Copies of this chain bind each other. A is one copy, B any other.
């Protein structure tokens, strides 16, 4: 679904819960026709927020599922997380495609297309009374049925400082099963991340047994050495990140030397610069790896790519 179709859908749908308010012109999409109340910037209320389940508003954010239906029983399902800003879901087509690939593999196909998710997100914005949110798309088995839901979380717009990286705790440090999909089996990354935060890090790394860096607990890892950008290749057990994909395209377009090639923890520690890439956080510079500072934090290559990425986000959402 194109962003203009998304916006049209936002505006054409009934608004179940929100109060009317004076339409405000979106500061970022002056070219578009939309300025509905659903697109106003307003912080989301506290949980429980509404959710959209199989296309219908659930004001309490809940869904009824079979205990033994697969989804709850063993995490037989998939998710995607993406920002919605001023009613624009970032790179929705790419998220929908990745989710559809996972659905084929988990026998949850056919997955909804981007247009269907877009309609759900438009309805979610209306139900939440906000056009700025972090959206989660979910697809899961419920017995004979495959069901979909979209739910909202507050979109953090706080400017984050550079990230300090640690290692995932023993037992979670190695490659993850199903790392190439965002399945509902997500205790590993969540617990690894929580352990890292407890230890004073912003993010932790998963490694192969031989020390090859795979990815962060919530991000793709990029390193820069001698002007060359590197990130782990997709034949390693990593998530094919949407932001990773976009950044590789940006490097190609900008003529920045880039290689999808594994690198070790030592190489990362000895890099000139490094950054994390994730849908909700964009490009975030790395300051330290296991307590050891990198020579350049938010250095020239990181800064250039971050700027090009923001530009691309804005362009893609027009």
Which chain A residues have a beta carbon within 8 Å of chain B's beta carbons?
Answer: 47-48, 51, 53, 58, 60-68, 71-77, 79, 106, 136, 138, 140, 143, 149, 151, 153, 171-172, 174-178, 183-188, 190, 209, 237
Chain B residues near A106 (CB, 8 Å)? 187
Chain B residues near A136 (CB, 8 Å)? 67-68, 73
Select from chain B the residue with minimum beta-carbon distance to A194: B107
Question: Chain B nearest CB: distance from A171 CB in Å?
Answer: 6
Known contacts A72-B71, A74-B186, A171-B237; A65/B62 CB under 8 A: yes
Question: What's the Cα separation between A174 and B183 when bound, in Å?
Answer: 19
Select from chain B the residue with minimum beta-carbon distance to A184: B75
Chain B residues near A48 (CB, 8 Å)? 66, 143
Question: Chain B nearest CB: distance from A257 CB in Å?
Answer: 31
The winner among A51, A63, A75, A174 for most chain B CB atoms within 10 A is A75
Chain B residues near A74 (CB, 8 Å)? 75, 184-187, 190
Cβ–Cβ contact A66 & B61, under 8 A? yes
Cβ–Cβ contact B63 & A72, under 8 A? yes
Chain B residues near A62 (CB, 8 Å)? 64-67
Cβ–Cβ contact B176 & A72, under 8 A? no
Cβ–Cβ contact A67 & B138, under 8 A? yes
Chain B residues near A47 (CB, 8 Å)? 66, 68, 143
Cβ–Cβ contact B149 & A67, under 8 A? yes
Q: Count copies of this chain in the complex.
A: 2
Question: Chain B nearest CB: distance from A138 CB in Å?
Answer: 6
Name the one of B79, B175, B178 contacting A174, with C-beta atoms under 8 angstroms: B175
Name the one of B60, B65, B183 contacting A63, with C-beta atoms under 8 angstroms: B65
Cβ–Cβ contact A63 & B64, under 8 A? yes
Question: What's the Cα separation between A266 and B178 when bound, in Å?
Answer: 28
Select from chain B the residue with minimum beta-carbon distance to A68: B151
Known contacts A48-B66, A64-B64, A143-B47; A75/B151 CB under 8 A: no
The winner among A61, A67, A74, A138 for most chain B CB atoms within 10 A is A67
Chain B residues near A58 (CB, 8 Å)? 67
Question: Chain B nearest CB: distance from A56 CB in Å?
Answer: 13
Question: What's the Cα separation between A65 and B53 when bound, in Å?
Answer: 12
Chain B residues near A174 (CB, 8 Å)? 174-175
Question: Chain B nearest CB: distance from A220 CB in Å?
Answer: 19
Name the one of B72, B153, B176 contacting A65, with C-beta atoms under 8 angstroms: B72
Select from chain B the residue with minimum beta-carbon distance to A187: B185
Question: What's the Cα separation between A61 and B188 when bound, in Å?
Answer: 28
Question: Chain B nearest CB: distance from A181 CB in Å?
Answer: 9
- A–B pairs, 18, beta carbons within 8 Å: A47-B68, A47-B143, A48-B66, A48-B143, A53-B67, A60-B66, A63-B64, A65-B65, A67-B151, A72-B140, A73-B136, A73-B184, A75-B186, A75-B187, A171-B178, A174-B175, A177-B188, A185-B185
